[in-house]
Amino acid sequence: MTVDDTGSGTGAHPAPGGEPGRTAGPVTDAAPARAAADGEARQDARPDAGTGSRPNHRSHAGTGLHGDDRSDEGSETRRDGHGGDTRPDVRPDARHEATGRVDPQAEPDSGEDPLALRLEGLILGAERRYTPFQAARSAGVSMELASRFWRAMGFADIGQAKALTEADVLALRRLAGLVEAGLLSEAMAVQVARSTGQTTARLAEWQIDSFLEGLTEPPEPGMTRTEVTYPLIELLLPELEEFLVYVWRRQLAAATGRVVQAADDEEMVDRRLAVGFADLVGFTRLTRRMEEEELGELVEAFETTAADLVAAHGGRLIKTLGDEVLYSADDAGVAAEIALRLIETMANDETMPELRVGIAFGTVTTRMGDVFGTTVNLASRLTSIAPRDAVLVDGAFAEELTRTGDAPASEAAAAEAAAAAEKEGEEPPSYRFALQPMWQRPVRGLGVIEPWLLARRADEA
C-alpha cells in the first residue's frame, strides 16, 4: 500500500478485513509543521521526486529502511546478509548531515529536539512515515491487534501522530504472520512481544544511564555532550546489535538444552527446581542514611556480584529487585553452593551489609523467564526469617541434598558412615554441606514448616 505524507492511505488496496479500502481524512502530526516543510515532505514522497531531491524533514542518517524494497525512496538497495532484509544505501547528503549539525529542515515548532530526531533516525534506521493506523493497515493487521502488540512491547499510545517507520510495519507483519501460519496463538504472540519488550527496555535504560553516559564525557573543553553522542552511537550501534544477537542465541541454546533434557512433557513446563532468594539486611535503613549515588553504587555492586556468582556456578539469575535477587538451579547442590558463596563474598566486603538467603525445592511454573508457585513463595518466606549471614532451606531441599550425597541426614549418621568405612578399610563418605534442623514455626499462607540451617562441613570450609 502506498502511503503519502499527508497522513492518509490512498485506498487503492483492500482494508485488512477484506472490505474495499477507504480514503482516510488528513491526520496531523503531534505538533503542526511548517507549511513549507510539509510541502517538501509531500514532494519527496512522490515517485518522480528522483534521487536528486532533498531529504524531507523526517529523514535521518543511519542504516536505512528495513525489510521493504521500495522504489520510491530514491536510493539503491543492498542485502544486509542477515535474513535477506533489504536496506537502502545511505545517501551522501544524509551522511554529510549526520555530523552533528542541526538539520535546517527539522520542524522548529514540533516541540522535539532536532538532534533527538536525528538520533532516533540513526538508531531506528528509518524515517518516520506512518501513523499507527497507516502502519497497521500497511502490515495487513487490524488496529486492535496492532495496539495489543505495541502495548505489550511497552510503547506508549501516540494517537495518530506520524511517528512509525517501515521497521514497525515489518514487525507487525512478522508477528501476525506467525499467528496466521499457526506457529503461535494470538495470546502467545502477545506474550512474545511483552517478554521481549520488557527485557530490552531494561537493557536500553541501563545502556543509556550507565554505559553511554560515561562514554560521552566531552573529550575537549568547549565540546558538548550532544556533539559527542551522535558519532559515538553511530560507531557503537552495529557492534552492540551483533553482540546482543550473539548473547541471545547463546542463552536460547542453553535454555533449549535444559528443556529437552526434561524427564517428560509435563516437566518441560512445571519443573522441579531449587529456588533461592538473597536479601540485603537493613536495606531500608540504608536508604535513609546514604546518598542516592552511593546507594546506587551499592545496589549495582550487589547485583553484579550476585549475577557473576550465580552464572559461574551453573545457576540462572531470574531477576533482581534492588536489595534482593532471585535465582534458580536444577541441582540442589548448585543452589546451596551459590547461597554460601554469596554469604562468604559479601561478608568479606566491608562496604556491603549483611546478607540472608532462603532456598526451597519443588515444582515451579516458569512463564516469560520468571518463576511462580508455592516453592517460590516458600523460598521468600524462608529468606525473611533467616538469621543474618545465614542460609535457611526447606525440608524438601534438605532431603534432596541428602539423596544426592551432598549432605548427611544428620551428624550422627555421618559419624556412623565414617566408622563403618574405616572398619572396612575404605574412604569415608565426603559431604559438602551440613544441615541443622531448626524449630518448627508457622509461616503465613504456608502453614507450619521446619526450616534447616545450611552450612559448609567443617572439613570443606
In the predicted structure, residue 90 carries a pLDDT above the cut 90: no
Average pLDDT over residues 308-337: 91
Instruction: Give the model confidence (pLDDT) of 260-280 as tens digits.
Output: 765 555 555 567 899 999 999
Higher pLDDT, 255 or 179: 179
What are the residues whose beta carbons fall under 8 Å from the beta carbon of 456, sequence distance 6 or more?
340, 432, 433, 434
* Cell numbers found for residue 79: 542485502
User: Residue 237 and residue 200: Cα distance in Å, rounded?
Assistant: 15
Nearest to residue 124, comparing CAs of 75, 169, 166, 155? 166
Higher pLDDT, 82 or 398: 398
Nearest to residue 363, comparing CAs of 355, 372, 354, 351? 372
User: Residue 332 and residue 454: Cα distance in Å, rounded?
Assistant: 12
> What pLDDT does 35 receive?
37
C-alpha dihedral, 425 to 431 to 435 to 436, nearest 10° = 40
Q: What are phi and psi of 2, to 5 degrees?
A: -85, 135
Q: Residue 25 — pLDDT band, cuts 50, 70, 90?
A: very low
Average pLDDT over residues 386-411: 92
User: Residue 30 and residue 143: Cα distance in Å, rounded?
Assistant: 19
Start-end of H helices in 283-386: 283-289, 292-312, 332-347, 374-385
What are the residues whose beta carbons fall under 8 Å from the beta carbon of 346, sequence distance 6 or more?
302, 305, 352, 353, 354, 355, 389
**Maximum separation of any 2 CA atoms in the chain, in Å:** 98
In the predicted structure, residue 44 carries a pLDDT above the cut 70: no
> What pLDDT does 269 receive?
52
> What pLDDT does 234 receive?
86
Over 147-216, what HEC string results? Answer: HHHHHHCCCCCCCCCCCECHHHHHHHHHHHHHHHCCCCCHHHHHHHHHHHHHHHHHHHHHHHHHHHHHHC
> What pLDDT does 195 receive?
85
User: Residue 99 and residue 460: Cα distance in Å, rounded?
Assistant: 61
In the predicted structure, residue 58 carries a pLDDT above the cut 50: no
Other CB atoms closer than 10 Å to residue 292's CB: what's the count? 8
Average pLDDT over residues 193-209: 85
Task: Tell me which of 163-172, 188-197, 202-211 is least confident.
Answer: 202-211
Nearest to residue 455, comparing CAs of 374, 341, 297? 341
Which residues partner with 130 through β-bridges? 164
Of the spans 82-86, 96-100, 289-293, which averages the highest pLDDT?
A: 289-293
CB 362 within 8 A of CB 374: yes
User: Residue 107 and residue 112: Cα distance in Å, rounded?
Assistant: 8
Task: Tell me which of 53-67, 139-153, 165-179, 404-418 is least confident.
Answer: 53-67
In the predicted structure, residue 4 carries a pLDDT above the cut 70: no
For residue 136, how many C-alpha atoms fall within 13 Å in the half-sphere facing its CB? 17
Which residues partner with 443 through β-bridges? 447
Average pLDDT over residues 429-445: 87
Higher pLDDT, 156 or 392: 392
From residue 380, alpha-carbon distances to 85, 211, 327, 374, 393 in Å are 46, 32, 11, 10, 11
Kindly tell me the sign of the dihedral angle through the C-alpha atoms of 259, 311, 346, 352: negative
Reduced to 3 states, what is the DSSP secondary structure of residue 354?
coil
> What pLDDT does 383 receive?
94
Q: Residue 83 — pLDDT band, cuts 50, 70, 90?
A: very low
Other CB atoms closer than 10 Å to residue 96's CB: what's the count? 11
CB 364 within 8 A of CB 273: yes
* Beta strands at 355-367 and 324-329: parallel, antiparallel or unpaired: unpaired
In the predicted structure, residue 59 carries a pLDDT above the cut 60: no
Higher pLDDT, 339 or 68: 339
Instruction: Give the model confidence (pLDDT) of 100-121 as tens digits.
Output: 333 333 344 456 778 788 888 8
Kindly tell me the sign of the dihedral angle through the C-alpha atoms of 105, 24, 14, 133: positive
In the predicted structure, residue 344 carries a pLDDT above the cut 60: yes
Nearest to residue 233, comparing CAs of 82, 120, 126, 96? 120
Percent of the chain surpassing pLDDT 90: 33
> What pLDDT does 28 receive?
37
